[in-house]
Amino acid sequence: MDGVVQLQKQLVDYSASLFDEGILDEQFNQLQQLQDESNPDFVVEVVSLFFEDSERLLNELGKALEQQTVDFKKVDAHVHQLKGSSSSIGAQRVQKLCIGFRNYCEELNTEGCLKCLQQVKHEYSLVKTKLETLFKLERQLIAAGGSIPT
């Protein structure tokens, strides 16, 4: 029983830290509230789609910014999509960076855009790692016979 209590505390603390550090925001809570017995893996499923979407978009952004003549409309469209999906899952830092990124697009500033892309990639990588850790802790807790505190 001690093991379960320990795991539960670990999960709660880890989860809290993600919110405290601004990596996740309230929207992530909204997703968790939509998870229930009929939709037991909802959060993991949505987040997996987010990873898929993001990796594709980051790839496209890299290619678009490498072009001789950068199509800023295209770049902006990709960033807008990334901003939307990150916002919908509560990946706050990624979303915020996208706002600055769009400003550089408006200014037709390739260097600014490239810098933003690096930052977004970094933050994306961070939120991905953190969420994967969170899901791992949840699995461990469930495997030990515990349940995820709401």
On whether the CB atoms of residues 131 and 44 are closer than 8 A, the answer is: no
C-beta closer to another protein: residue 9 or 56: 56
Query: What is the smallest separation between the CB atom of 122 and another protein, expressed in angstroms?
Result: 20
C-beta closer to another protein: residue 9 or 73: 73
C-beta closer to another protein: residue 80 or 115: 80
Binding site for another protein (CB under 8 A): 27, 30-31, 33-34, 39, 42, 45-46, 49-50, 52-53, 77, 80-81, 83-85, 87-90
C-beta closer to another protein: residue 13 or 55: 55
Query: What is the smallest separation between the CB atom of 9 and another protein, expressed in angstroms?
Result: 29
What number of residues does the chain have?
Answer: 150
Residues 6+ apart with CB under 8 A from 60: 78
Query: What is the smallest separation between the CB atom of 49 and another protein, expressed in angstroms?
Result: 5
Cα radius of gyration rounded to whole Å, the chain: 18
Query: What is the smallest separation between the CB atom of 121 and another protein, expressed in angstroms?
Result: 18
